[in-house]
Amino acid sequence: MNNKILAIHTGGTISMSTTDGLISSDKENPVALDGTVNLDIRLEEIYPVKKPSPHMTMDDMLGLKDIILDRRNDFDGFVITHGTDTLEETAYFLDLALDIPQPVIVTGAMRSFNEIGSDGLYNYISSLRTALDSASRDRGVLVVFNDEIHTARNVTKTHTSNIATFQSPNHGPIGFLTKGSLQYHHQMAQQDQFDKVDLGYKVGLIKAHAGLDGIFFDALIDAGYHGLIIEALGQGNIPPSALAGLQKVLDQGIDVVLVSRSFNGIVGSYYDYEGGGYDLAGRGVIFSNGLNGQKARIKLVLALSNGLSGPELTEIFRH
């Protein structure tokens, strides 16, 4: 019996065409028209959202989770087509919120369907091939793009227009596709899993910069936020001008997680000066092991949804 794959098309460039230099959505998703050529597959396709990725919310991500869990006994794998701007966030949310053996593959395109060198249909077929391969089971959510297979945890968009935009800093892809085969060359690290999702928890994201002051911190308190991610400078430092605002947030019992705004590397409590990592650790700031800001935000929402606090919260951001 042929493998059964559920394809979930949410929109994005992969479902769009260019007319007079402007990119807009088609009435029908073009990659859905002829995506299973020469594949031994039974494919069902649904269109639950159909929106560009800047319009995607965590409610949409939760909807995708519910679709997959509702249909998990009917399919051998899942492929989600998605706009690239927030693709990594959706993939990481699903990676944390799903615990199923079937492959869940997220893909998209950097060029619309009718552009020269369009990558949408190719990425889609590559994703179907990956979902069909038994070696893809029990690997969590994967992102397939440009013949490479990346983990949802590590992948990020690195270029505004290049078709090789998705990369995994510090780690690289865990596998790749050739014309005739699929190869995995890295093992998966243990991933945290969260059963509950409460989107009532609000987590903010602030990017540190020279002269950062306390106004954004005050706004988070006034808006009733429950958590904060800071994309810190370098290995985990912020300007002293931001410390008063940060301390107000901490005094309110708001959990603060530190990541780096740098493209590679991880944060640590090394620098012993005002606003340095050692100072921040002493104030109770949590240090994250390699996540970027947008993913740390998703992880903190899910951690808070599941009642984690104190040492438990610190521990889950260490790995």
Report the catalytic residues: 13
3-state secondary structure of 240: helix
Query: What is the CB neighbour count within 10 angstroms for residue 21?
Result: 5
The amino acid present at 27, given as its one-letter code, is K
Calculate ∠ Cα 32-89-254, nearest 5°: 155
Q: What is the DSSP letter of 114?
A: T
Query: In whole angstroms, what separates CA 46 from the centre of its chain?
Result: 22
Query: What is the CB neighbour count within 10 angstroms for residue 310?
Result: 9
DSSP percent split of the chain into helix, strand, coil, nearest 5: 30, 20, 50
Beta bridge partners of 17: 24
Cα–Cα distance, 77 to 133 (Å, whole number): 9
3-state secondary structure of 308: coil
Structure tokens at 33: 């028209």
Asked whether the beta carbons of 286 and 80 are under 8 A apart, the reply is no
3-state secondary structure of 134: helix
Asked whether the beta carbons of 23 and 95 are under 8 A apart, the reply is no
Cα–Cα distance, 92 to 97 (Å, whole number): 9
Cα–Cα distance, 149 to 123 (Å, whole number): 11
